[in-house]
């Protein structure tokens, strides 16, 4: 039971509201997000989740007509009564205080269609509430970088956001990642692991700690310095987060934070040899940039949990996170690596070739930033339901917004 004693009728009403907004299907996470308007606190989510699950099951078995009728009976019981129309953005928790949001493409290639939708969705929320939008170029994996992407991403992001996005490049922030890594070590929340990956996995699968886990902080700091100065070779050590080694999800058990990679970085050369992995770099950036709301694909749910652990270890409050389902195209691919290969082999003329689903191509074909914003708003209810669509059907809607 929650502090405000949220009733079953209120839970059912939010489930109905969510279903009506999403073609008759609701999901637990979205219903719980709605309940924050009724006073639900994060510490109470676990207690209320079963009741929400029962309501979601009940609603999803109803016909669309029955959902509409039942919601009309219960809507007076909840604060957010208005059902969002198609193309209307959801209300973000505490959004009225202003938001700081981000889109985070990698430097493996320029922006493509789905990047454009993500950047535009974040832009719309920042425009709705006021605040700041970062486009953060993630380039801490030296092995997967396309040097020309930096300029292209910056120009395309500025074009999509009327010049309002602030561009940040992760390889400019390495000293900051090192500072946080050392802080986690000093807090006893991270350690240097010298076990090979097979040995660590074998122990982790048995919910057993590796021998490196309980070595003192002084040793870990010294070993960290050796990773930085070259005394430790690539593959001989990684920095790991000290989590619950018995966690029910193996992916959460002492996950890695940083590794040695001596591949020459196309932008900063061999200046650094220890590179933060995504969960460390993203957590540090989101903390430093004071991120308030994050929208990400539901395939990043485990990463969101890992990052929340890092926030807690550092005594920080994690931002609100909303998840979206995957849009699966039956006949269109978005691999920038494959696009680069096709360009190199002469199968297409360049990044702006009409055959490619890149922002460069779409811009050349006459698409405007407002078209991508319209498409983003069209799918802006943050449903976790996966979608399957053809290129033809998708562009039929996008073309409508472009007109």
pLDDT tens-place string over residues 20-46: 877 788 888 878 878 887 888 878 888
**CA 105 – CA 119 distance, rounded (Å):** 9
Overall pTM surpassing 0.85 (yes/no) = no
**CA 167 – CA 136 distance, rounded (Å):** 6
Structure-block tokens of residue 244: 């619950």
Q: What Rg do the C-alpha atoms of the chain give, in angstroms?
A: 23
**Phi and psi (nearest 5°) for 300?**
-100, 15
Dihedral angle computed from the Cα positions of residues 145, 146, 149 and 151, in that order, rounded to the nearest 10 degrees = 100
Structure-block tokens of residue 212: 């490196």
Structure-block tokens of residue 385: 């339901």
pLDDT tens-place string over residues 253-308: 999 999 999 999 999 999 999 999 999 999 999 999 999 999 999 999 999 999 99
Mean pLDDT of 365-393: 86
CB 224 within 8 A of CB 293: no
- pLDDT at position 1 is 38
Going by the DSSP 8-state scheme, the letter that residue 380 receives in this structure is T
- pLDDT at position 381 is 63
Asked if CATH classification 3.40.50.620 holds for the domain at 95-174+280-296+320-402, the reply, yes or no, is yes
**Which segment of 19-23, 85-89, 91-95, 281-285 scores lowest on mean pLDDT?**
85-89
What fold, for 187-277?
Answer: 3.90.800
Residue 290 CB contacts under 8 Å (≥ 6 apart), including other chains: 100
CB 376 within 8 A of CB 120: yes
Mean pLDDT of 209-229: 96
Q: In the chain, what are the domain boundaries?
A: 8-77, 95-174+280-296+320-402, 187-277
**CA 380 – CA 314 distance, rounded (Å):** 32
Count of other CB atoms within 10 angstroms of residue 313: 18
CB 207 within 8 A of CB 246: yes
**CA 230 – CA 184 distance, rounded (Å):** 21
């Amino acid at each position: 039971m929650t502090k405000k004693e949220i009733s079953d009728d209120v839970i059912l009403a939010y489930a109905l509201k969510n279903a009506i907004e999403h073609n008759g299907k609701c999901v637990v996470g979205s219903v719980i997000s709605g309940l924050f308007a009724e006073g639900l606190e994060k510490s109470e989510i676990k207690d209320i989740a079963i009741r929400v699950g029962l309501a979601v099951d009940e609603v999803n078995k109803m016909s669309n007509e029955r959902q509409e009728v039942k919601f009309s009976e219960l809507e007076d019981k909840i604060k957010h009564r208005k059902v969002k129309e198609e193309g209307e953005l959801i209300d973000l928790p505490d959004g009225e205080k202003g938001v700081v949001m981000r889109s985070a493409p990698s430097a493996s290639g320029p922006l493509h269609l789905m990047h454009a939708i993500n950047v535009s969705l974040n832009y719309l929320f920042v425009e709705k509430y006021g605040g700041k939008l970062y486009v953060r170029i993630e380039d801490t994996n030296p092995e997967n970088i396309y040097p020309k992407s930096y300029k292209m991403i910056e120009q395309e992001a500025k074009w999509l956001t009327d010049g309002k996005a602030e561009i940040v490049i992760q390889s400019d922030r390495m000293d900051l990642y090192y500072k946080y890594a050392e802080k986690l070590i000093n807090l006893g929340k991270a350690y240097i692991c010298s076990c090979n990956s097979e040995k660590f996995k074998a122990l982790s699968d048995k919910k057993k700690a590796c021998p490196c886990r309980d070595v003192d902080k002084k040793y870990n700091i010294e070993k960290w310095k050796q990773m930085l100065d070259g005394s430790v070779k690539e593959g001989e050590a990684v920095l790991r987060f000290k989590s619950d080694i018995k966690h029910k999800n193996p992916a959460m058990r002492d996950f890695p934070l940083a590794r040695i990679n001596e591949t020459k970085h196309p932008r900063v050369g061999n200046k650094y040899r220890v590179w933060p992995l995504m969960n460390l770099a993203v957590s540090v950036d989101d903390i430093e940039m004071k991120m308030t709301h994050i929208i990400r694909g539901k395939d990043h749910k485990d990463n969101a949990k890992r990052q929340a652990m890092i926030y807690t270890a550092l005594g920080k409050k994690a931002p609100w996170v909303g998840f979206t389902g995957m849009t699966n195209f039956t006949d269109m691919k978005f691999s920038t690596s494959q696009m680069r290969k096709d360009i190199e082999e002469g199968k297409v003329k360049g990044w702006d070739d009409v055959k490619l689903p890149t922002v460069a191509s779409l811009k050349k074909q006459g698409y405007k930033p407002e078209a991508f914003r319209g498409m983003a708003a069209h799918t802006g209810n943050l449903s976790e339901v996966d979608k399957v669509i053809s290129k033809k059907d998708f562009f039929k809607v996008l073309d409508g917004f472009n007109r």
